[in-house]
Structure 1
Amino acid sequence: MTKKKIAIYGKGGIGKSTTVSNIAASYDNSTFVIGCDPKSDTTRTLVGKRIPTILDTMRNNKNPVLDDVLYEGFNNTLCVESGGPEPGVGCAGRGVIVAMKLLNQLGAFDSNPELVIYDVLGDVVCGGFSVPLREEYADEVYIVTSGEYMSLYAANNIAKGIRKLNGKLGGIICNCRNVENEVEIVSEFAKLLSTEVIGIIPRSPLVQSSEFQAKTVVEVYPDSDQSNEYRKLIKSIMDNDNLVAPTPLESEEFEKFFYSYVDN
């Protein structure tokens, strides 16, 4: 039986896919990773290459089978990418809707993996990208952010979306960018959302080095401190039962919080 079905949200470029792939690589039980970002790069470092997306496969094959879209990655992870439309054409969120319908039809979840992870583009406002929550594929959400203004602003908007969809927030993941007072400001932000920082991932050159090889840090540098941080994070997530309805800030409250804290 599946123990956890989680969705990872965050501002574009904040490190969601890196976080997802490395925590998946760190988990030693059956794990299913579903990339819901039209960039389709979530599973690249798990599989070692870009895999065909569900939308691309369906364009060429109207009756795909599960083996056409499901790939095995590092540490026996199962990997899927939803894909998206041609650039500038159509709704990217639509790809998530189509992908989830097909995965259900093909029995992709019949094996009951212990952990299912959805890597979702940060804009939860869009109907397509809210699918993991709206359709109850995911039971809990984790938001990746740094201490930067735009990252926190996006995280606050995501929290608004989670609350509107009656979702449950499991915590904040601080993916450090080495800005001043970063851990402190993210920790205070988490408190204002009625949650906590569940993991702190330091900035490390090992991330870029491993991704250059199309691999996770956990695979290339298994004994590194960075890999240990990803292992600690997935353990904290799997042990976590403190799920809350977030209390996002109104725009003026957020501005006051950020700038007063930075000034201090």
Structure 2
Amino acid sequence: MVAIGARDVGRMGFGAMRLPADTDAERESSLAVVRRAVELGVTLLDTAYLYGGGANEELLAEALHPYPEELLITTKVGLAPSGPGEEWKIDGRPEILREQVDGALVRLRVDRLELLQLHRIDPEIPLAEQLGTLRELRDAGKIAHIGVSEVTVEQLAEARAVVDIASVQNRYSMLDREHDPVLDACEAAGIAFLPWRPVAPATTADDKEIRAVAAELGATPTQLALAWLLDRSPVVLPIPGTTRIAHLEENVAAAGLRLTDAHRDRLDHLTA
């Protein structure tokens, strides 16, 4: 289990970003994947306003509302389209953050967001102003816990000076360890670390060592990549996404793999 505030959630989460819903068939398939994730014991699902302008949040609500008591759905705010049909850009203006939080409450059909993450830090707005806005929304009862995404160690320290930080969501994987220092800082502070893009590039790399260790464990390279993350630190909570139930079941089963010291040593020396 990983602590997020006063709540404990399972070590393997699910990232909903990739779920399609453009056709009736795609929507039904996506709903089935989400429901199966919860059946398998997944207790944290990750979404964001960016994913379809809130459509992904609505999909999760359709699949799971009323939510099981143990389920935690986390969403993210802080990116917005610059105009009709235009590209999404980082936007941490207080009015935008408030608008997106209020919208998420409606789309997810909840009175409070259990974990709300700042999707990106807006370099044009003081960090204290962005997180101060989220702190005000927390104090108003609209948010339970606050997280940040794609931060450095220095930015994490600055954020924690403004408000309690429950989670960090940075890109990280077995072959992508740029944020090792951030993960170490999270472990020292007891902050949940949710690596996004947790599997690639390990599963696409033509690496004999990865294939060899996976074979020795009777696992796939994908499962090995997830098992390595779980072994890396007790605060790590991967959020792999998929559109297929079979792949979902494969991902969840990775939590049962155990690396030996020898396996760990062989993998820890790999780089992209």
Give yes or no for TM over 0.5: no
Under a length normalisation based on structure 2, what TM-score does the superposition of the two structures give? 0.41
Per chain length, whose mean CA-contact separation is higher, i.e. which structure has more relative contact order (CA < 8 Å, sep 6+)? 1
Could you tell me the TM-score, scaled by structure 1's length?
Answer: 0.42
